[in-house]
Amino acid sequence: LLLGCLWLLAAPPVSSIFQRPTGTPAPLRLQYLLEPLHPTVHTQRGATATLPCVLRALPRNYRVKWSKVEPANYQENIIIITNGLYHKNYGPLSPRVRLRHSHRYDASLTITDVALEDEGRYRCQLVNGLEDESISLTLHLEGVVFPYQPSNGRYKFNYHEAKRACELQDSRLATYQQLYKAWTEGLDWCNAGWILDGTVHYPIINSREPCGGRLLLPGVRTYGARDKQKDRFDAFCFTSALQGQVYFIRGHLNFKEAGQACRNHGAAIAKVGQLYSAWKFSQLDRCDGGWLADGSVRYPITTPRERCGGLPDPGVRSFGFPSKEMRTYGTYCFVG
């Protein structure tokens, strides 16, 4: 009997292909699902988050299907299906999701050890024959967006290379919502970069000639969707809280010595995303330039001052990619 029930759960339900004709009444309000009081759930990387989905009644022969809408390919990926007695998990989220099931009407989804890629829109759908209904919720990670380009200069990444570059720096390509929020918080960057859905943008606070001209209003400027294989831009990466610590080792080290210095302390040379996270969430503030894993030299400033670059705003400052043989800088290390 158990195997039979699980077999029934294994096949996703067939969605109706019929559309409501023009002029017909709007669909009825939710009958079985309760509207969530807070459709956005805020969390951080590494935390446990619960997306609420509660039934007001239990129809006969129903199923509840959880899925995630992926902006990169505009598809819905099934996460879990339950009929109230049995459930089946699907996809890469499978090891980290479960139903909260605190009572018989509770079909809320709990995600443990939240990862960067978990951010996005989720759908809880009650499948009940012709009376299917659903609610949408958004999982929002608190974090920071940073522009990224490689050592060989600007506009070198196609989409797939940009995606990989962010992942190598303990981050992922930002969503448009993340980039827009970063702009409202002061991100001003003249170089265009890829974001997760394959479009290209750049955020401008201070209108100026090299960045579209002085007459254009501030905003997130867009190049729209571009060819993911042929077109080349920078990347906008997003990272969230760390499960670990970034710290500085003083010295006059070349790049190889910097990595060894971190390893001598049982740590690894920090990645760019880890330094941004420490600056954002741990208020790491140092005037000292230090090597990072990609060969760049940067330093985080939370309290701007004259002797630390003189810029008026907090941020992660960069010396670019100096020769790896230079013995001028210390190093930033990360220990998990």
How many domains, the chain?
3
CA separation for the pair 263, 269 (Å, rounded): 8
Q: Would you state the pLDDT for residue 28?
A: 54
DSSP code for 186: T
Instruction: Give residue-wise pLDDT tens across range 66-92.
Output: 999 886 666 889 999 999 889 999 999
Whether residue 59 lies inside any domain: the answer is yes
pLDDT attached to residue 78: 96
Same domain, 46 and 117: yes
Residue 4 lies in a domain: no
Q: What is the pLDDT of residue 73?
A: 65
Q: Is residue 2 part of a domain?
A: no
Q: Are residues 151 and 208 in the same domain?
A: yes
Task: For residue 27, tell me if it sits in a domain.
Answer: no
Same domain, 291 and 195: no
Cβ neighbours of 323 (radius 10 Å)? 9
Give the pairing of strands 120-127 and 234-240: unpaired
The CATH number given to whatever domain includes residue 276 is: 3.10.100.10
Q: For 105-137, what is each residue's pLDDT tens digit?
A: 999 999 999 999 999 999 999 998 767 899 999
Instruction: State pTM to two decimals.
Output: 0.84
What CATH number did the domain enclosing 50 receive? 2.60.40.10
Which residues in the chain show pLDDT less than 70?
1-28, 71-74, 130
What is the residue range of 186's domain? Answer: 143-239
pLDDT for res 71: 66
DSSP structural state of residue 23: T
Alpha helices for the chain (secondary structure H): 2-10, 159-168, 176-184, 255-264, 272-281
Is 188 inside any structural domain? yes
Domain-terminating residue out of 219, 239, 259: 239
- Tell which of 239, 262, 290 closes a domain: 239
Residue 92 located in a structural domain: yes
Domain boundary residue among 197, 223, 239?
Answer: 239
